[in-house]
Structure 1
Amino acid sequence: MFAKLRAARTILATIGLVLSCVLAALVPAGSASAQIPYLQLNAAEPKYAAIVIDANSGEVLYDKRADSPRYPASITKVMTVYLAFEALSEGRMKPTDRVVISPRAAAQAPTKLGLPPGDSLSVDEAIRILTVRSANDVAVAMAEKLAGSEARFAALMTLRGQELGMRNTRFVNASGLPDSRQISTARDLAILSRATMRDFPAVRDGRRLIAVVLGGSSTAWRDNNMEDLLLTGFDVLKRRAHGDRTTIAANLFESEPGGPIMRPSTEQGDGEQSGLKIVLTDSPRAQPVKVSPTLKAAKAATKPAKKPKGEWAVQVGAFKSKGLASKQLTLVRGRFAKFVADAEGAVEGAAGGAFRAQFQGLTAEAARSTCAAITAKRQPCMVLSPR
């Protein structure tokens, strides 16, 4: 594992980000904070927000509340690491340099490494811990090393973000810990991601995607939704490569897909629990999914292809609209075709206005094996016995 992390660090350390000297000129010592106007944004909302863009062209394939203010949480550390690599590329810092844990850094809330004040680690180790562990104490220590104080470093982060085109983002700390003044948007975070990806080549069929998801009900929900967005995004590109320019991307993505009906949490704990997910490229496990081009076709996909063989069923989610439930059936059928090929997709109304997405007509054995396969991919599934 250590060797793999070292190899990953070696790859990361080669990125050619060369604009740190400009930042040094823009923010003279002692005046950084004064140069950053407070961004006049509305209070961050807990609602779902997302964006998917083509990393090569910047074309927006899907967006939902992409410019609405949100708390960036631990994605803040992407900018922290971005500036750290700028310093490395400019020779202002070396991988073997020491990053000292100050009393202020040691006092940060979890998630953190937990080193005592006065202890230190190398820049190489600090960057790996930031990216793998998301350690808040190390983020503050890195900020202090690069700029003398976290406040000054946050000003540098904001200025650099503005240069990249992040017009609605203000950073006030290096870790992403809760602060009502620290605001960004899905679009701005995609801009930051695209800038980072310029030196992190990872592609599928010569194409790269950027996707940002904010809000939602849980970490698992965001993971599942992120996978769905990326799968659909690559499906859109595949269709276009084969000459299909008539399908509207928004119809493929639908609005607010996936996940159970839950109110997105507004609580901002550490970055891992804060309701935000970002992916810079496709998941290694992801494969293109067959997605219906229109909602009408999605409904048609719920009709049985073969006669049902049993009285058992599986439920793959409950949603606030019939359209979202149908969308889930289409996605699950495309991804788990061999398990639900003979099942009848159905949307059942439930108390409270919810709509349940179910595959019916399964045997007991088929229902259990289907749910086992679906839950193994971190998708919701529940076996329903005959009534």
Structure 2
Amino acid sequence: MKKSLFAMAAILGLALTSCSSDDNNKSDDNKSTFVLKADDLKGEIKDGTVTLDASQTYLLTGPLLVKGGATLVIPAGTTIKASATIDPNALYIAVERNAKININGTSAKPVVMTSAKAIPTEGSWGGLIIAGNAKVNTGDNGTSEVGGLSYGGTNNADSSGNINFLKISYTGSKFSPTKEYNGISFFGVGSGTVVSDIYTFESGDDGIEFFGGAVNASNLVIVNSYDDSLDFADGWQGTATNVYIKGVSKAAIEGSNNEKNPGEATPVTTAKLVNFSIIKGGATFIADEKTINYKDGGGKQAYTNFYVDNDMPAALIKISSTDNAAAKNITDGFFTIVNYNIGAAITNLTGPKLSGTVGVATGAGAGAELPTWATWTK
């Protein structure tokens, strides 16, 4: 009997040990081998989930790359500052295809990405780059112009995580005369990615740019961009809703289809742009590529509830005289604006097909004034 009891106890102990081991393995499934250092944030997150600590201020000292299969979580209230002394082109955060970034800010506690310089300026660091598996019309395996990430594919529903309530400022360092970082660059990012409530400030290049993909975005405040404010190209199939743009250097919106094959590349850029307010800003901002730069074929662009302040240039759009594909798309009615309020100083409205209610559109919510949904950016 004692032998039987001992045997039963041994079996029970082995079973408990086995269960305990399994539980530990399960709890370790999301652990990462990445070593997180608040004062030296850089390197490759190759596996598992890395979660930052909102009570820390992180110093970005080199590229931070989230590799395929890994996840970076940034809780509400977290601040990341790019080094004041390291080459700005080496300071960026990049998310590969099949990786995820979850930026979980709130209106009361946004996530902040900025420069550590005492007096920061545009171009003080790179920015945020996200690559996905969604369709682009430049090929299924492109390479991002900065960061060197592969992007594109066939999954328009792909998810790269979420971005909610992010303030990102002083980005856009110049990699070369023709290659600059944006505030945020979306390369082939899919519609499964949730993007809302972003504030970009003082970007050396574009504030936000979509290179193909099908991601949608809402509640965007883009202030002081030194190239275009919002840019989309390469077959983007998305909707941007509630967009407030101020401080326009080139174009408030640059929308194109494909630089090398503007009239035939597919999928054709198909952009829905809803509730937009556009204000040129102070004298340093000249908007010399107009309110909308419709280029490289332009694709299909449909605007609804469009407010343009009186300080923008007299011509509403810029279009190259040699861009035959763009001219054809305009003739075919693929460039439309429904319900608009365009300042009286803007006297040349040639280009888009205009319809709907005139003079009462409120744009992003309050015409030239910052809308109530964006008060968290102050």
- Verify same fold: TM over 0.5: no
Q: Greater helix share, 1 or 2?
A: 1
Greater RCO, 1 or 2 (C-alpha within 8 Å, sep 6+): 1
TM-score by length of 2: 0.29
Q: Going by fraction, where is strand more abundant, 1 or 2?
A: 2
